[in-house]
Amino acid sequence: MRTMKLFSKDELSKILNISKTTISDLVNIGKIPYKIIDGEFKFCPETINDWGLKKPKTMDREKYIERYKKRFHQKYPDTIKILHEYDAQFAEQSDPKRFYLRPVKSKKLGTVYHVRYLNNGVLVPSNWSTGTNNIEAAERWAVENRERLLDKYFKRDTVKKPYGDMYTILRRYYLEDSPYLKIDAKRGRKPGEKNRPVYHNFIVNRFVPYLKKNGIKCFEEIDTPLLARFQNQLLKGTEKRPGIKPQSIKHYFCYINQIFEHMIIEGHVKINPCQSLVCLKVNKEDRKVVGCYEINKLRGVFNRKWKNELSYMLNLIICTTNMRNCEIEKIQPMDFLLINGVNFIDIPKSKTVNGERIVPIHNFVYRKIMAYIRKHKKGKDDYLFKSKKAKRLGSYKYKNAYLELAEYTGYSIERLNNENIKFYSGRHFWKTLMDSEKLGDIEEYFMGHKVSGDVAKRYNHKDKQGKKKMIERTKKVFAILDKYIFR
């Protein structure tokens, strides 16, 4: 006999017009003949109606079932009536203890019964093994364990599990969609979007490998001596990675400290080993101050033709506006403002909150920028120096820029290295230039620095002084640039 002739439980329920639950119950009490094939109930037409019926060659499966159903109803009307009466009792019941058993193949027992429960008339989409091939024992097991299994099943969605093992937490903590950072944000502890990837890379690429190498399996095994040894390793470096400066290590350990503080607040850890850690001493030789050019060295360099147009624009902007690298990369044509005849550039997003400001643009610089925009056909929302998809402009472009500037100022590479002059030195040059002319606290207006904490400055609200004061300071800045750079 071919398997095609055997009916499944779904098909037989359609033929008899009774529910699948009724079919299962009839099987359990031995009132209907069945076979178990591949762990599923199968029903042979010959054993149901005692006569053979072959599937017509021109009839598909659905037509075959409908034809068999019609013949069965015509031939056995009394049986159909009795079955419908029997089926009605299940349709009317809402007994929460109802269940049915399903035989499943088992290597150990041959066949083992799995139980599925009905809860408030709805079939629970899960099943449990009874551990036996005896149907009576399986029924007892199903009744005895019903409340425990259903209670566990319905509670699974209400239990929040944002915490896994230690390594899962460490790898996910500083991700963009981190559930831990969402909890921290409610307490006002939210890392900036620029710093967050840096934190993540340090934890995943430096801290996690160190813990694994030392066989650490949980937060409780991380103690202060272990972290101190990690500090020493970072200082010393490895064959593949150079050592890190003490001030950088102190900064990196803030990332680890935040994770432990979070775990303590949420009740998953009792001790923060970072609190007992002795801070690394930062020596003078560890702090290498960024240098800058002498204030007379840039006179006329922007009036000549440069080899590289991008190098020219980058140096021109940083040396005359004091903007940070990241701020220069975000310049768009729509950011330029005209206030009382003076051009400014709006910086709505910066490295810090204090960096959100407007910066005056000298007329010479403004004309060069507008010419660059027209030449490269930049739209109002295009970036001037990078594409929208690019995260950064590229460190090699900044290096090319300050090396070309050094060539025109007569600075050798040896002198650049000795005085630690880089592209960012243009910002230092601007501030040094302003200080040389005793312009006062101009950096608080145009450099985006945090105001110091003395009382006089805290009570001096510069945003209330109006446009007149700002324009006056702007004209002083332009006069200094004219004196030392453009004339």
Residues of the chain above pLDDT 90, percent: 21
Query: In degrees rounded to 5, what are phi and psi of residue 106?
Result: -140, 130
Helix, strand, or coil here: 194?
A: coil
Distances (CA, A) of 251 to 123, 198, 223, 256, 288: 56, 11, 19, 10, 16
> Is the pLDDT confidence value at 58 over 70?
no
* CA dist., res. 410 & res. 406, Å (int): 6
Answer whether 191's CB lies under 8 Å from 173's CB: no
- Residue 436 has a pLDDT of 86
Query: Which residues are paired to 40 by β-bridges?
Result: 37
Average pLDDT score over residue span 59-81: 78
| Distance separating alpha carbons of residues 353 and 401, to the nearest angstrom | 28
CA distances from 106 to 117, 130, 374, 465, 476 (A): 21, 12, 76, 84, 89
- When pLDDT is averaged across residues 26-30 and rounded to a whole number, the result is 67
Q: Which of 127, 97, 99 lies closest to 114, judged by CA?
A: 127
Instruction: Quick: pLDDT tens for 435-452.
Output: 888 876 655 556 555 544
> What pLDDT was estimated at residue 401?
92
Q: CA-CA distance, 329 to 194, in Å (whole number)?
A: 14
Residue with tokens 């909150």: 353
* Secondary structure (DSSP) of 392-422: ---HHHHHHHHHHHHHHHT--HHHHHHTT--
CATH architecture under which domain 94-159 falls: 2-Layer Sandwich (3.30)
pLDDT one-digit tens code per residue, 271-292:
899 988 887 776 655 566 788 8
Query: What pTM was computed for the model?
Result: 0.51
Note the helical H segments in 322-454: 325-329, 363-375, 395-409, 413-418, 425-436, 443-446
| Percentage of the chain modeled with pLDDT above 70 | 81
Q: CATH 1.10.443.10 region(s) of the chain?
A: 301-486
Q: Which one, of 195, 461, 444, lies nearest residue 322 by Cα?
A: 444
Q: What is the mean pLDDT of residues 174-201?
A: 84
Angstrom CA distances, 349 to 283, 354, 360, 426, 443, stand at 34, 10, 16, 21, 18
Tokens 């105001």 -> residue: 451
Most trustworthy range by pLDDT among 66-75, 332-341, 463-472: 332-341
CATH ID of 301-486, from 1.10.460.10, 1.10.443.10, 3.30.1360.120, 1.20.120.140: 1.10.443.10
**pLDDT digits over 401-419, tens only?**
999 999 999 999 999 888 8
**47-51, long-range: CB within 8 Å, 24+ apart, which pairs?**
48/72, 49/75, 49/76
Residue 97 clears pLDDT 60, i.e. is over it: no
CA 460 to chain centre: 41
Every domain range in the chain assigned CATH 3.30.160:
94-159
Report the CATH architecture of 166-286: Orthogonal Bundle (1.10)
Cα 465 from Cα 461, distance rounded (Å): 7
Tell whether the model's pLDDT for residue 374 goes beyond 90.
Answer: yes
Torsion sign (Cα): 204, 208, 213, 215: negative
Tokens at residue 189, please? 């502890």
Q: Which residues pair with 43 in a beta bridge?
A: 7
Averaged pLDDT for residues 332-350:
85
**Radius of gyration of the chain, Cα coordinates, nearest whole angstrom:** 39
CATH 1.10.150 positions along the chain are 166-286
Q: What are phi and psi of 128, to 5 degrees?
A: -130, 140
Higher pLDDT, 282 or 107: 107
Exposed, middle or buried, 426 (CB in 10 Å: 0-12/13-18/19+)?
buried
Q: What pLDDT shows up at residue 59?
A: 43
Helix (H) or strand (E) holding 210: helix 208-213
What is the per-residue pLDDT for 444?
A: 55
